[in-house]
Amino acid sequence: SSLRFVVHAAAPCPVHVKQAMIEWWGPVIFEYYGGTETGAVVFCNSEEYLAHPGTVGKAIEGAKVLVLDDDGKELARGATGEIVCRIPTIPDFTYHGDDEKRRRAEKAGLIALGDIGYLDDDGFLYLCDRAKDMVISGGVNIYPAEIEAELHKMPGVGDCAVFGIPDEEFGESLCAVVQRQPGADIGETDVKSFLRERVAGYKVPRIVEFRTDLPREDSGKIFKRKLREPYWEQAGRQI
């Protein structure tokens, strides 16, 4: 009863998990989004989250947050593109030994942190994926995080990772690696059938692989590169 403030960040939280957290602990859960380069640029409380499920927050005072297309032009509300942001009072920076990387990070006078997302009509920001994780299949942009979010809702799925693998016809197709919950008995057909009811057909992974453990970085995030590399080693290309 004395708990008043809990904050989380660093990666998107599945909507059903966040809603369950708020129901369990009460409206004491807060969230922010930002980066080492920018500091926190958006923020939301529990009430705002429940009114805008999936958001990571709204721009705090003094922060500027835009969503840009591939040509660096600002997109309309609801359109998905690269997120750029900045707080003028935060000191400028560069990357150690890589000033060129710093120049590439600046777009429209703001800083690109490598995330894809959109702003809703009320100015709340939603993350779709990391730009480097986006899959282009047959000329169509696919964001694996959307598919992962649906898989997390499937009974028997403990964790998962979705990423692009080589495809001779479409350039890339999708692969899902699933870690089952203890005692779960789900297979490839089950996963594909579950997803077909929830996402467009071209977003259903062509390959579904099961593992008892998923490789993780020190931060606990799934190390997708280690899952992706074996598929690309024989392709003679990396994209």
Check if the beta carbon of residue 201 is closer than 8 Å to that of residue 209.
no
pLDDT tens column, 136-188: 898 898 999 999 999 999 999 999 999 999 998 898 999 999 999 999 999 99
- Could you tell me which residues come within 8 angstroms of residue 54 by beta carbon, excluding any fewer than 6 positions away? 12, 15, 126
The three-point CA angle 115-5-37 to 5° equals 30
In CATH, what is the architecture of 134-232? 2-Layer Sandwich (3.30)
pLDDT of res. 49: 97
pLDDT of res. 129: 85
pLDDT tens column, 106-141: 999 999 999 999 999 999 999 988 888 889 898 898
Q: Are strands 135-137 and 110-119 parallel, antiparallel or unpaired?
A: unpaired
Fold equal for 6-128 and 134-232: no
pLDDT of res. 131: 85
pTM of the predicted structure, to 2 decimals = 0.76
Amino acid at the residue 11: A
Question: Domain locations in the chain?
Answer: 6-128, 134-232
The fold of 6-128 is: Luciferase; domain 3 (2.30.38)
CA-CA distance, 2 to 24, in Å (whole number)?
A: 14
